[in-house]
């Protein structure tokens, strides 16, 4: 097993539904370790960079405005195979398709916006995690202890 660190964002729907603690507990129950955590508002610039892979989609403006409804909470989480494990814990992008027992299945939107309001972002590869940790955490904000 190789220890990795992934970047998670608690999206505005997690903040609005007040379920950050419950979701974080699911990560910690797996033994994953918090290495960095902070609340921040996301600028148009950082969202354009973070979501460059969907920037040309018709729903991108809606996603940008959703991600600015409240501040988000960025989390650097470490553990064995944490990148894939957290994606499994989240479930698929569309909360309606996510099984009960997954984070998106239990807390995501079950309405017309189920593809967008899905509680958390999490890095999907080692390369993405490295780039995203740098994007959301400055040097010294991710801790080894
Ligand atoms: P994931 O976050 O599961 O890796 P993507 O990278 O494909 O998914 O999409 C980024 C984010 O954009 C999603 O988490 C979701 O908030 C939003 N999104 C994706 N697809 C749609 C869609 N068809 N309609 C509205 N929002 C979407």
This prediction's pTM: 0.98
Ligand 1 neighbourhood includes 25 CB (under 6 angstroms): no
Q: What is the pLDDT of residues 1-38, one digit of tens each?
A: 789 999 999 999 999 999 999 999 999 999 999 999 99
Test site for ligand 1: of 7, 54, 64, most ligand atoms within 8 A of the Cβ = 54
Ligand 1 neighbourhood includes 65 CB (under 6 angstroms): no
| DSSP conformation class of 100 | B
Assess whether 121 carries a catalytic annotation: yes
Q: What is the pLDDT of residues 102-143, one digit of tens each?
A: 999 999 999 999 999 999 999 999 999 999 999 999 999 999
Asked if 73 and 39 touch (Cβ cutoff 8 Å), the reply is yes
Distance (Å) from CA 87 to ligand 1 centroid: 13
Asked if 70 and 55 touch (Cβ cutoff 8 Å), the reply is no
Test site for ligand 1: of 94, 114, 115, 125, most ligand atoms within 8 A of the Cβ = 115
Asked if 100 and 94 touch (Cβ cutoff 8 Å), the reply is no
The domains located in the chain, with CATH, are 3-136 (3.30.70.141)
């Amino acid at each position: 097993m190789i220890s990795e660190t992934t970047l998670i964002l608690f999206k505005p729907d997690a903040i609005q539904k007040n379920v950050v603690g419950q979701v974080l507990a699911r990560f910690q129950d797996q033994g994953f370790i918090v290495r960095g955590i902070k609340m921040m508002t996301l600028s148009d610039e950082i969202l354009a960079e973070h979501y460059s892979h969907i920037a040309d989609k018709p729903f991108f403006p809606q996603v940008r405005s959703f991600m600015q409804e409240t501040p988000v909470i960025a989390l650097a989480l470490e553990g064995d195979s944490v990148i894939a494990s957290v994606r499994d814990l989240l479930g698929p992008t569309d909360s309606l398709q996510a099984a009960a027992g997954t984070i998106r299945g239990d807390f995501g939107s079950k309405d017309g916006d189920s593809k967008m309001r899905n509680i958390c972002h999490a890095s999907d590869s080692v390369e993405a995690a490295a780039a995203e940790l740098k994007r959301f955490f400055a040097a010294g904000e991710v801790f080894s202890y």
